[in-house]
Structures are given as structure tokens and as C-alpha cells.
Structure 1
Amino acid sequence: MTKTAKDMVTEAKSRVENLDPTQVAQEQERGAVIVDLRDGPEIKENGKIPGSVHIPRGMLEFRADTTSPYHDASLNPDRRIILHCASGGRSALGAMTLQEMGYTHVAHLDGGFKSWVEQDQPIEQG
């Protein structure tokens, strides 16, 4: 049986922690790393969550792998990591992938950057 992208996102959301913008803001205040999975042009056009780290979705596994030459030091399997994208699909899939890679304190922003903006959370220009 094949799965659609929508099926995969639904499954991912059932397996990962889904946070709303207020929860993400609180987590960030407590030191969580917020990872923006959107592409560069999306960030440039729409802005970003202040203090977030940009790692395009296509590079997530390589940046998260501590044995990879592409590893990003801001990604630590023992640290609280919260992913977000534009609307929540890529970040749910990414959070599930990080769990499979041994990250135990990972979540995603359900509704993505769109929900962040709708809740009047702060943004900065990309």
C-alpha cells in the first residue's frame, strides 16, 4: 500500500509532540533551540522567529548526524529541539526523523510559521 505526503504528515503528527506558538515561545525562553526548516527565499520573504537556527529540510539529517562533516553544533541529541516550517508538514516529518536518529527531546510547531504570525508572536526580517 502506498502513502501520500498527507498520509505521511498525519502519521508523523501522531508520533511527535505538537506545540502551539505560545508553548514554543515558552520553550524558547527556557533555552530550546528553534530550527527553521524553510527554504531561504521563504525566510527572506516572510521573516523568521527571532533566535531561530536555519537548517533547510533537505539538510536536516546531515546537520543532525553528529558523525557527519555537515553536523551543526546547535543540534545535540540531548537538547530540546523544536522544528518549524511554513505550515507544519515538513517540521512534523523532520521531528519524526530526528526521533529515529536518537533525539529524545524533539517537537514541532503545529501550524508552522503561519500559526506563529497569526498568534502575533515576534518576527524579524530574514
Structure 2
Amino acid sequence: MRIKTAQTLVEEALKEIKTINTDEAFKIVEDNNCNLIDIRDVRELEKEGRVENSHHVPRGMLEFWLDPNSPYFQQGKLDRNKEMILFCAGGMRSALAAKSLKDMGFEKVSHIDGGFGAIKQSKFKIV
């Protein structure tokens, strides 16, 4: 049995998911056509700040919180009809997370190339 590396998993995910840059993401957010989801760990948010109007869904809870039967999802915190745009610190976890959401059946899913590092250099407001 051959064990895949994390890098291999990311490379495979990138072939199946939509990757957008920060300018594309900013436009979609500005047009109110998405749920901007920060999957970083809570310690990363405390240290680096968070993106204004983003939803925090830790990577370890993503599949559980976005399960249609979960209280989080049923409370309407996320609009299931809008695109789910994910980001992490650098873009690797969000690539895996976006693939996971696609595997769950979400059709409008993307992730931001370069993650929070790229977002800090863009038009997004960090709070």
C-alpha cells in the first residue's frame, strides 16, 4: 500500500476544484453572492485577525457544520444557495476543504489562492 502525501492530496484536489484570486473573491463578496468561510484555527484568527464579514468554520468542523442536518446549517448562518468561498492561511487546507464540500454535493465551491496571506495584501478589510 502506498500512502499519499499531503502535497499529493492537495494537487489532486486542485484538479477538481475552482481556485480564484483575491480580486475575484472580493468582487463576489462585494456583490453579496457568497459565504466567505475562514477555515483557519481559532488561534490563527486571534494572532492574525480576521476578514470582515467572513464566517469562521474551523477546518476540523467543516463537514459537520455544513452538514444539512446540523444546527449550525439549519440556523441559516450560511446561505446554501450562494457560493462557498473558502480560505485558510496559505491555500492548502482550503483546497482540501473545497474538495470535501464538493464530495458532499455542494456545487458552488471555490477557494482563494494564497489564502489569508494573499488576502492581507488585497482590498479585503482585516479586523
Report the CA distance between 1:70 and its aligned residue: 4.7
Q: Could you tell me the TM-score, scaled by structure 2's length?
A: 0.90
Mean Cα displacement is larger for which, 60-69 or 31-40?
60-69
Residue correspondences, number:
124
Task: For 2:81 and 2:11, locate their aligned partners in 1 and report how far apart those are by CA, in whole Å.
Answer: 26
Q: Give the aligned partner of residue 59 of structure 1.
A: 61
Task: For 2:113 and 2:28, locate their aligned partners in 1 and report how far apart those are by CA, in whole Å.
Answer: 14
Contact between 1:63 and 1:75, CA under 8 Å: does it hold in 2? no
Matched residue of 2:78: which SS? Answer: coil
Q: Give the aligned partner of residue 116 of structure 2.
A: 113
Specify the code of the residue in structure 1 equivalent to 2:53. Answer: G
Say whether 1:9 aligns with 2:40.
no
* Structure 2: 5+ residue stretches without partners: none
- CA-atom RMSD, angstroms? 1.5
TM superposition outliers: structure 1 runs of 4+ over 4 Å: none
Q: Give the aligned partner of residue 100 of structure 1.
A: 103
Report the CA distance between 1:121 and its aligned residue: 2.4
Contact between 2:35 and 2:79, CA under 8 Å: does it hold in 1? no
Q: Could you tell me the TM-score, scaled by structure 1's length?
A: 0.90
Specify the code of the residue in structure 2 equivalent to 1:20. Answer: N
Give percent identity, aligned residues only.
36
